[in-house]
Amino acid sequence: MNGRRIAADLKITARGYLRNPVALFFALVFPLILILLFGLIFSGGSGGPVTIYAQNFDHQSPASRAFLSALNNTSAVRVQVVPASVGNLSTYLGQNGYAVGLIVPAGFAANYTHGLPVHVTLFTNPQAASSAGIALGAVQGVANAFNLALACPPARDCQLVSIANENVGSNVYTYIDYLIPGLIGFSILTSPMFSMVDVTSSYRKEGLFRQLSLTPLTRAEWLTSRILWYILLTFLSAAIMLGIGLGLFGAHVTVSLAILPFLVLGPFFFVALGMVAGSAARTPETAAVIGNIITFPMMFLTGTFFPVSEFPPALQLVARVLPLYYVIDGMNQVMLFGNLRAAGIDLAVILVASIVVFVLAIVLFRWRDE
Amino acid sequence: MIPQDFHFFEKITAREAVEYYSALFHVRPKVDDLLAQVALSDKAHARFDTLSGGQKQKLGLALALVNDPRICFLDEPTTGLDPHARRAIWEVIRRLREEGRTVFLTTHYLEEAQLLADRVAIIHRGEIIAEGSPGEIIQAHGGPERLVVTGGPPVAEFFRRRAGLAPTVRDGQVEIPIQSKEEGLGYLDDLRSSGIAWTGFTVERDTLEDVFIRLVGRMDDGELKSEAAP
């Protein structure tokens, strides 16, 4: 590896790229349009039902399930049952940026049928006052219905089911908060993938690689210069996203140096993957098809436009086999949840994947056809 | 080495291309010298995608010279170029030769080889079938010289009667094989004395292309015959 040659190639790559309006549009302007568009559409808050993340510690009983089912049947809220295995619900809500949670305690049905008081605990976040109000109203309504079902005589206090309201002490995230890491990820994916697939196949067809093979530039140096260029582009794109997100939409994301590894390894991975896809195809047309097959699922299923946690469970599993998921999830962990441990795991996954794909790219990529 | 149909990064100028190659070879970029050498100085700031086919090939030549090679391999550098661009490339190749460089030129244009080369190897189906200077190859494999006189049928008739020659007539041109220029001059003297009208003459001999066609045709015929044999 020779730094001087890498620098020379980086310079020529940058010049060529900056003079190509189409490439620049897709690298920098298109994600900008997306953040403005999605940010404006969703900045008024979601009009859908409030999601309540519920833990049912009395899950064997029909009464507790009827309680959650009645809650789910209100049009105001949607109940998402969370297994007890996730641990403390308040922490879980905080880590995932969820605003509302509910605990149905063990012995709910027994107490209720024996006329003993029972408290369900509702976690709400003061920062999300409207969601909190809607959730409280819905839970209160269902509790009242349960209390009335006892046919209580007026003289007696029949408020068996009551609500203990606790605050979730974490930030609640709005759509724009998820959109920033999502669209940085989108940029990390699309810009190198589309370009590298095209470049790798068309340079080979035009004999440009054959010409480069007659210079001292090595394949690894050429690939490294491309990787460096897309890392620079990613930094620029991320800065634009953060500027728009924070400045225009008042996003609540943490800008931390801990996102840097993702801004480096993300482009690293996708430049190498683009090169593998471009090398695997015989013609630029086939390369474009292969590139699209790889790119499109990741474009939509890895949390670019919507948080993966909102996906149906099956799609969440699909997301986890797609490399971009780990880039976006890692940035979410850093920028939204401050969970560096989880981010570290994501980083490890993408690091290993990057090394594998880089080696594969060097092995598959030839300056000239055999 | 520059290939046929040279390509480069589309948005990069000729000057930047030479600077890039110089950096890759770690040599001082002699941009102005190299572009002047290939007669491309006026296009130094033009982007590659705005250059004509000939200018692109010239840039390819300039890049091939960045590291001051003693041997240059030029793979059909004039294929597809217009006559003007082709002559410009020829000039560059002549200059390279004059500078003492060895130029390996592959071409389908035998005229080009005849004009530019000190030594020619004719390759047919992967084998060298003739080798030497253009003159040597023509001498060895070409037909005799021909006196070509521009005139009508009376001229042909005159030669046929005068010396029992067997002239061929093609488009008003009468051709007679001759062994030497003196022999040809003798025929012309006789013609002039006869008073028959004629307008001009040339002495022609096979070109490298004629030789190539003849050699290759002969080989293909031979192969066809041997294939046809039981």
H, E, C per residue of chain A? CCHHHHHHHHHHHHHHHHCCHHHHHHHHHHHHHHHHHHHHHHCCCCCCCEEEEEEECCCCCHHHHHHHHHHHHCCCEEEEECCHHHCCHHHHHHHHCCCCEEEECCCHHHHHHCCCCEEEEEEECHHHHHHHHHHHHHHHHHHHHHHHCCCCCCCCCCCCEEEEEEECCCCCCCHHHHHHHHHHHHHHHHHHHHHHHHHHHHHHHHCHHHHHHCCCCCHHHHHHHHHHHHHHHHHHHHHHHHHHHHHHHCCCCCCCHHHHHHHHHHHHHHHHHHHHHHHHCCCHHHHHHHHHHHHHHHHHHCCCCCCHHHCCHHHHHHHHCCHHHHHHHHHHHHHHHCCHHHHHHHHHHHHHHHHHHHHHHHHHCCCCCC
Same domain, B36 and B73: yes
Q: Does residue A254 sit at the B interface (CB-CB below 8 Å)?
A: no
Tokens, residue A267:
């482009």
Out of B1, B6, B11, the one facing A16 most closely (by C-beta) is B11
Residue contact A8–B24, C-beta within 8 A: yes
Provide the CA A221 distance to its chain's centre, in angstroms.
32
> B180 and B113 in contact (C-beta within 8 Å)?
no
> B43 and B62 in contact (C-beta within 8 Å)?
no
Distance from C-alpha of B63 to C-alpha of A177, rounded to nearest angstrom: 51
Residue of B nearest to A207 (CA): B7
> A358 and A223 in contact (C-beta within 8 Å)?
yes
Final residue before a domain boundary, out of B118, B152, B170: B118
Q: Does residue B169 sit at the A interface (CB-CB below 8 Å)?
A: no
Same domain, B57 and B152: no
> B168 and B162 in contact (C-beta within 8 Å)?
no
3-class DSSP assignment, residue B122: strand
Does residue B193 form part of some domain?
yes
Overall domain count for chain B: 2
Q: What is the DSSP letter of B221?
A: H
Q: Does residue A216 sit at the B interface (CB-CB below 8 Å)?
A: yes
Q: Which domains does chain A have, with CATH numbers?
A: 3-42+174-364 (no CATH), 50-167 (3.40.1710.10)
Mutate to test the interface with B, among A19, A199, A212 (most CBs of B within 10 A): A19
Same domain, B102 and B154: no
The pLDDT value given to residue A170 = 59
CATH number of B169's domain: 3.30.70
The pLDDT value given to residue B103 = 92
Out of B2, B8, B23, the one facing A4 most closely (by C-beta) is B23
Residue contact B16–A207, C-beta within 8 A: no
Those residues whose C-beta lies under 8 Å from the C-beta of residue A149, and which sit 6 or more positions away, are: none
With beta carbons under 8 A apart, name residues in chain B contacting A7.
23
> A168 and A241 in contact (C-beta within 8 Å)?
no
Nearest CA among B194, B200, B202 for reference residue B157? B194
Same domain, B114 and B152: no
Out of A16, A207, A217, the one facing B12 most closely (by C-beta) is A16
CATH number of B23's domain: 3.40.50.300
Out of B9, B24, B63, the one facing A217 most closely (by C-beta) is B24
Distance from C-alpha of B206 to C-alpha of B135, rounded to nearest angstrom: 10
Mutate to test the interface with B, among A199, A211, A212 (most CBs of B within 10 A): A211
Residue contact A215–B24, C-beta within 8 A: yes
With beta carbons under 8 A apart, name residues in chain A contacting B1.
214
Same domain, B151 and B113: no
Does residue B217 form part of some domain?
no
ipTM, two decimals, is 0.70
Nearest CA among A126, A51, A148 for reference residue A96? A51
Q: Does residue B28 sit at the A interface (CB-CB below 8 Å)?
A: no
Does residue B178 form part of some domain?
yes
Does residue B37 form part of some domain?
yes
Strand partners for B150: B173, B200
What φ, ψ does residue A164 adopt, rounded to 5°? Answer: -100, 120
What is the count of residue pairs from A and B with beta carbons less than 8 Å apart? 49
Out of B6, B9, B26, the one facing A16 most closely (by C-beta) is B9
Mutate to test the interface with A, among B2, B8, B9, B45 (most CBs of A within 10 A): B9
Amino acid of residue A118:
V
Distance from C-alpha of A185 to C-alpha of A332, rounded to nearest angstrom: 10
Closest approach of chain B CAs to the CA of A9, in angstroms? 7
Q: Does residue A215 sit at the B interface (CB-CB below 8 Å)?
A: yes
**Model pTM?**
0.73
Residue of A nearest to B16 (CA): A12
Give the DSSP H or E segment for B149: strand B145-150
Does residue B93 form part of some domain?
yes
Same domain, B111 and B20: yes
Out of A4, A19, A214, the one facing B1 most closely (by C-beta) is A214
Q: Does residue B8 sit at the A interface (CB-CB below 8 Å)?
A: yes
The pLDDT value given to residue A169 = 60
With beta carbons under 8 A apart, name residues in chain A contacting B6.
211
Q: Does residue A217 sit at the B interface (CB-CB below 8 Å)?
A: yes
Residue of B nearest to A214 (CA): B1
Q: CA–CA distance from A362 to each of A195, A231, A272, B7, B90 (Å)?
A: 18, 19, 9, 23, 40
Out of B7, B23, B25, the one facing A206 most closely (by C-beta) is B7
Tell me which residue range forms the domain holding B168: 140-204
Tokens, residue A339:
């969970």
Same domain, B55 and B101: yes
Interface subset of B 54-113, CB within 8 angstroms of A: 63
Out of A11, A20, A211, the one facing B3 most closely (by C-beta) is A211
Q: Does residue B20 sit at the A interface (CB-CB below 8 Å)?
A: yes
What φ, ψ does residue A306 adopt, rounded to 5°? Answer: -140, 145
Does residue B224 form part of some domain?
no
Tokens, residue B121:
């190897």
Same domain, B107 and B148: no
Residue of B nearest to A6 (CA): B24
Amino acid of residue B29:
P
Does residue B219 form part of some domain?
no
Same domain, B113 and B164: no
Out of A8, A208, A210, the one facing B23 most closely (by C-beta) is A8
Same domain, B36 and B95: yes
Angle subtended by helix axes A323-332 and A284-301, to nearest 10: 40
> A132 and A106 in contact (C-beta within 8 Å)?
no
Amino acid of residue B225:
K
With beta carbons under 8 A apart, name residues in chain A contacting B47.
19
CB atoms within 10 A of CB A84: 12
Same domain, B18 and B114: yes
* Averages of pLDDT over each 10 residues, chain A, 370 residues: 92 90 83 83 66 86 87 85 84 80 88 83 78 85 82 61 75 79 92 88 86 90 94 94 88 89 96 89 84 89 84 86 94 87 94 94 78
Give the DSSP H or E segment for B158: helix B153-163
> B75 and B89 in contact (C-beta within 8 Å)?
no
Q: Does residue A221 sit at the B interface (CB-CB below 8 Å)?
A: no
Does residue B230 form part of some domain?
no
* Averages of pLDDT over each 10 residues, chain B, 230 residues: 77 95 92 88 94 88 89 85 83 88 90 90 88 88 85 83 79 84 86 84 86 81 50
* Average pLDDT score, chain A: 85
With beta carbons under 8 A apart, name residues in chain B contacting A4.
23, 26
> A57 and A109 in contact (C-beta within 8 Å)?
no
Same domain, B45 and B109: yes
Distance from C-alpha of B118 to C-alpha of B94, rounded to nearest angstrom: 11
Q: What is the pLDDT of residues B131-170, one digit of tens each?
A: 899 888 888 888 888 888 888 788 888 888 876 777 888 8
Tokens, residue A34:
């997306």
Q: What is the pLDDT of residues A33-73, one digit of tens each?
A: 888 888 777 765 555 688 889 988 887 788 888 888 888 88
Distance from C-alpha of A203 to C-alpha of A195, rounded to nearest angstrom: 12
